[in-house]
Copies of this chain bind each other. A is one copy, B any other.
Amino acid sequence: MGKSVFYHAGCPVCVSAEHDIINLIGTNNVEVVHIGEVRNRISEAEKAGVKSVPALVTPNGNVLHINFGAFMADVKG
């Protein structure tokens, strides 16, 4: 199985969800990307279909929006 990508923006909801996802699927199976800091990956997240953070993009390309921290527009500022 390929890696999933967890996009977040450092918000409390994001951090909590990140811990849960890592506990559930294992730290080796997920790449964590803080798009508030690594801003050149925002467009990649948007192309994948991420509408809000936190979100998990699965190895087969599905987007799971998990709870709600912020819209992408807010992350982009």
Binding site secondary structure of chain A: mixed
Closest to A24 in B: B25
Q: Are A65 and B62 in contact (CB under 8 A)?
A: no
Which range holds the interface residue count of chain A? 20 to 34
What residues of chain A have their CB less than 8 Å away from a CB belonging to chain B?
1, 4, 16-17, 20-21, 23-25, 29, 58-60, 62-68
Instruction: Give me 16 other A-B pairs in contact (C-beta within 8 A), A23-B60, A24-B25, A64-B66 excluded.
Output: A1-B23, A4-B24, A16-B62, A17-B64, A20-B58, A20-B60, A21-B64, A23-B59, A24-B24, A24-B58, A25-B25, A63-B67, A64-B67, A65-B66, A65-B67, A65-B68
